[in-house]
Amino acid sequence: MSLSEDEQQQQNAAPQSTRRTVGGTEHSWCKAVPGGTGITVLALQLSKAPGLSILQNALHKLQISHPILRSKVHFTPTTHTFSYLTPPNPHLQIQPSDLPSTAEILRSLTDSNTPSLSPLHLILEHELNQNPWFFPDLTLDFEIDVFFATIYSLSDDRYALTLRLHTSACDRAAAAALLRELVAAVGEREERERGFEREEEEVGVEIEKCIPSGKANKPFWARGADMLGYSLNSFRLANLNFVDDVSTRSSRFVRLQMGSEETDRILSGCKSRDIGLCGALAAAGLIAARSSKHLPDDQWEKYAVVTLIDCRPILDPVLSSNDVGFYHSAILNTHDIRGREKLWELAKRTYTAFANAKKNNKHFSDMADLNFLMCKAIDNPGLTPSSALRTSFISVFEDPVIDHSSELHDEIGLQDYIGCASVHGVGPSVAIFDTIRDGKLDCACVYPWPLHSREQMQELVDDMKRVLVDACSSVDSES
């Protein structure tokens, strides 16, 4: 039965879904996420029952303001390409988990190693390992939403709201901005974040098209030499000892928290030496990793550090955090560690190496190389030590997320929140997601389990904290 002329005109006039092929960096994440790396989760603990209709409306506003959030990742097997398929209207539906269902989930996650972990911690770990983007059969066409939301009832007066996103569509900076927009919308305030004042017509452009002219240029032979260098260096890199490199992996995390006085001392120490917090965190991690092996004095090991940069302010055109998508790049540096390093000396060395590489535009010129090597590791795990898919020891962000409590937080009953992404596919042994909230350092340190055990990572993070605190007890004593 054919359509009438009027019906045909109405169909032609109706808004249609749009499609955009992913860029190079987005493609890397589309390949990584099915294996377990790049599932971004925001978990919020609330003391008030969230109004489902208000929350649903707020999430739909996010999808209207940021079309990529209502997109689906589409895979075409004939060409082995990924694209974003974006319908015209928001469609996300919040999945509720009632008290008995949530209690069962928490019971399944609780063992002898988790008695002291909070329900929010366990729910976040649960969400990090929910992977709707896993597709074992690459001969089939598929499309899957990039954005999911769930409300868990933790008790009669406590709830957890989780937002789970495909990292190719939402990096850490964008996730932090979405949290602010969501709080503003649920709080029903008149003032709205900039993202709610506009309605984008299409998914944002990929990062490769926004690199300033000439910044990504690299001679052919230089590119070949760098690729060879990255590849050869990977076989010389040290890792944390692997506990179980055979069993199926998932992502877990250890939380590193400090009080306002300790945080202020660390930040003052960084400022006085003209280095970023990322340098201090990386250095503390390197010292703790080397110490955990109890090696003879002066036995050198080479560790890799990946520093992630939010490129939005340095792109052309300049973007803001309200431009949702993946706009981070990475710089990989290696460091020889012998076991006698002091925190501030090593922090200065690690940060200077990163800063010099950034000054030389390595975050742009090496982008394609690192994406290629990431995809090669995914396709050939045997190229990494013990097929562990570890590409570095630690990853840090150039800048922390800065956040402050507000009246809106009280209005919606926001008690706590954590944001991070999974790493149990390709990636580092530990990824540091650092936030300074109300002047206090709060880091989610994500790791692949059981490649590394919770006890092993808790010991590492505790040692990192000790190194930081000890070095800051006399900030001016070290040059």
Chain segment 390-416, per-residue pLDDT in tens: 999 999 999 999 998 877 788 888 899
Q: Which of 143-157, 230-244, 461-475 has the lowest mean pLDDT?
A: 230-244
For residue 288, the model assigns a pLDDT of: 96
Torsion of CA 4, 7, 8, 12, to 10 degrees: 180
Torsion of CA 286, 289, 293, 294, to 10 degrees: 60
Tokens of 38: 């790049």
CB atoms inside a 10 Å sphere around CB 301: 19
Q: What are the φ/ψ torsions at residue 163 (nearest 5 degrees)?
A: -115, 120
Weakest mean pLDDT among 227-236, 238-247, 344-353, 453-462: 227-236
The rounded mean pLDDT for the chain is 88
**Where are any strands of DSSP class E within 109-235?**
142-145, 147-155, 158-166
Sheet holding 158-166, edge to edge: 95-97, 147-155, 158-166, 37-46, 414-423
Q: Where are the domains of the chain?
A: 17-197, 207-477
Is the Cα dihedral 194, 195, 197, 203 positive or negative?
A: positive
Does residue 323 surpass a pLDDT of 60?
yes
The DSSP symbol for 226 reads: H
**Topology of the domain comprising 17-197:** Chloramphenicol Acetyltransferase (3.30.559)
What value does the mean pLDDT take over residues 50-71? Answer: 91
Render pLDDT for 249-291 as a digit per residue (tens, 0 to 9).
Answer: 999 999 999 999 999 999 999 999 999 999 999 999 999 999 9
Read off the pTM. 0.91
pLDDT of residue 449 exceeding 80, the answer is: yes
Cα angle: 193, vertex 446, 116; to 5 degrees: 100
DSSP annotation of 94:
P
d(C-alpha 270, C-alpha 177), whole Å: 26
Predicted confidence band of residue 53 (pLDDT cuts 50, 70, 90): confident
- Lowest-confidence pick of 1-10, 366-375, 429-438: 1-10
Question: What whole-number distance in Å separates Cα of residue 332 and Cα of residue 351?
Answer: 12
**Superfamily of domain covering 207-477:** Nonribosomal peptide synthetase, condensation domain (3.30.559.30)
Whether 188 shows a pLDDT value over 90: the answer reads no
Find residue 82's DSSP bridge partners: 75
Indicate if 207-477 has the same CATH topology as 17-197: yes
